[in-house]
Amino acid sequence: MKKDKEKVLDEVWTEDRVREFLSVEAKAGVDADFHRLLKAYQSMRADDFELFIGMFLQAGGNINALDQAGRSVLSYAKEHRNAGDYIAALEKHGANI
């Protein structure tokens, strides 16, 4: 059974905190843009994630970056039943599989 997104309640995210995810470092061999998007997806509420995507794209990030298996963050999000708002945010900003 795959782990689904857990609902995060009452956590306050400032723009500065969201922006910090732009500098998250990936380990060797992992696409940095994919890693940053994945960590943001795993950590943020949908509204904060959409804010991050705007910052990410403004900084030149690739919303369709792939992991070593050739999968995008959108492909992972589509496996989670409660990820509708995240999927919408990704697709709104040009993500595709």
* 3-class SS letters over 36-79: HHHHHHHHCCHHHHHHHHHHHHHCCCCCCCCCCCCCCHHHHHCC
pLDDT digits (tens, 9 = 90+) for 30-81: 999 999 999 999 999 999 999 999 999 999 999 999 999 999 999 999 999 9
**Which residues have a Cβ under 8 Å from the Cβ of 61 and sit 6 or more positions away?**
22, 33, 36, 37
What is the distance between the alpha carbons of residues 65 and 86, in angstroms, rounded to a whole number? Answer: 16
Token code pair at residue 36:
């940053």
The secondary element (H helix, E strand) that includes residue 33 is helix 32-43
pLDDT band at 7 (very low <50, low <70, confident <90, very high): low
